[in-house]
Structure 1
Amino acid sequence: MHHYFQYLRTYLIIKRKQLLNAFSFSKSKSYIPFVILSEPRSGSTMLHTYLNSHTQIKSYGEVLRENIEANAIATETAPYIESLAFKPHATALKAIGLKLFYEYYEDARYSNSFNYVINRKDVKIIYLIRRDILKVYVSLKIAQKTNVWSSIKSAENEPRPKIAIDRNDYIQFREEHLRHRRLFVTLLKDHPLLEVAYEDLVQNPQPVLKSIQQFLGVKPKALFTLLKQQNPGSVESMITNYDEVKDIV
């Protein structure tokens, strides 16, 4: 029953914001623009849903990727992000944003939108990292294997998927991941930026969410999400050949 009421509450908050936007006679760009920047499998969808439970925050999630793929866009001729997210909104909405992944920066389909964000120094960056890079890698491989990218069901009592790690593939992934982190710290050094760790968001969400809401200039509220952590437990239990690769992890 609790789960049903949480779902209904989420639906009503999101629907109210959609109706406000659709029927508002007063729209502007006076809101705080923001981006959730992260690597896949670092909690960006969880954070996106948390933020959307606030009545004054609108997070568009992966709207950029969804529209570019749906319209088979090979190269952006203009920053698509502006018409999809950073457009006029109802004045009741105080913070508007979306998700961007590291990999978009080097993809021609997203280059104009990514550079648009880099050049707009007023865009606030929620820089979401996951400290445990191995867990990022394992979570990504499990999602690719199962084709389950998010879930509202607890995984506590579910059978745990397992994978074998390719040593060289993981080393390459880790090096690329760290390169991206260094790159974006440099590219976004002039932006207002708040670094958030996935581990902190999962273990003690409300203090982390309060700091994010303050960063976005809205009155902090207790936020909620229906999503559950998909791969709880030790990373060793998810790797079938852990003994062969433990020296690199």
Structure 2
Amino acid sequence: MLKRKWLLRKWPFNRTNDFQRFIILCDPRTGSTWLHTLLNSNPQILSYGEVLREKDNISALEPTIWRSHHSSIQAIGCKIFYEQLCESRFLHVFDELVSNKKIKVIDLSREDIRATFHSLKTAEKTGDWSGGKMNKEIEVPFEEKEFDLHVYKSNENRSKVLKALNQHELFSLSYEELVKDQTLQLNKLQRFLGLTPVSLFSLLQKQSK
């Protein structure tokens, strides 16, 4: 499915800029890669995943991911961390998102913040960010002050970004809601993007219990 969409991305015919633009806004380790792969299983959705990486120099999202695509693709987006939009080097992307109110925002969170932080520390320790190498639980001790600072910065970044995007259409979703009733939440999300819901799937493996 995804290979076909990547091929259609280069197809010179039947191209259009008339598609729904969206972003998945989140903190690291909140299930964003899982959601990204689920959305990509819909033949009408193309998610570019994480695009604001340190090694990349993106001038703007519009010419990078929102350039013309094959007309079969009806919704195109990517995932961006709240903390990235609060960095000075990505201020131009933040301004681009704020100025285009037609961009739909998927606000992905995780209710269990301790689990999020533990997952982050585990990934940093093992170097495994997708769960492909993990086969057992790993203990990662951390200080309460370190955790408290993480929570404070996370809340501050999320509040700043969502306040700036308060005129955009917003779909709030938690990792726990997605786990509890995947079909219901994904159907609602696909309708939010203006699409008729289809069954979605992901080959991604859970990193730990």
TM class, shorter-length: over 0.9
Structure 1: runs of 5 or more not aligned: 1-12, 233-249
Q: CA deviation at 1:82?
A: 1.7
User: Does the Cα contact within 8 Å between 1:64 and 1:84 map onto a contact in 2?
Assistant: no
- Following TM superposition, where does structure 1 have runs of at least 4 consecutive aligned residues deviating by more than 3 angstroms? none
User: Does the Cα contact within 8 Å between 2:34 and 2:204 map onto a contact in 1?
Assistant: yes
**2:55 aligned residue (56, 69, 80):** 69
Secondary structure at the aligned position of 1:135 is classed as: helix
- Tell me the TM-score normalised to structure 2 length: 0.94
The answer for the alignment partner of 1:202 in structure 2 is 179
The answer for the alignment partner of 2:114 in structure 1 is 134
Tell me which structure has the larger Cα radius of gyration: 1
Tell me how far apart the structure 1 counterparts of residues 5 and 161 of structure 2 sit (CA, whole Å). 32
- CA deviations 1:108-129 (Å, max 9, x no partner) are 3221112101111000001001
Name the structure where helix makes up a greater proportion of residues: 1
Pairing 1:1-249 to 2, within 5 Å after superposition: 13-65=1-53, 69-70=55-56, 73=57, 78-79=59-60, 81-151=61-131, 158-232=135-209
| C-alpha RMSD of matched pairs (Å) | 1.6
Give, as a single letter, the amino acid of the residue that structure 1 aligns with 2:47.
S
Structure 2: runs of 5 or more not aligned: none
Tell me how far apart the structure 2 counterparts of residues 217 and 152 of structure 1 sit (CA, whole Å). 33
Secondary structure at the aligned position of 2:201 is classed as: coil
Tell me how far apart the structure 2 counterparts of residues 128 and 135 of structure 1 sit (CA, whole Å). 15
User: Does the Cα contact within 8 Å between 2:21 and 2:77 map onto a contact in 1?
Assistant: yes
Q: Identical aligned pairs, as a percentage?
A: 36
User: Does the Cα contact within 8 Å between 1:34 and 1:126 map onto a contact in 2?
Assistant: yes
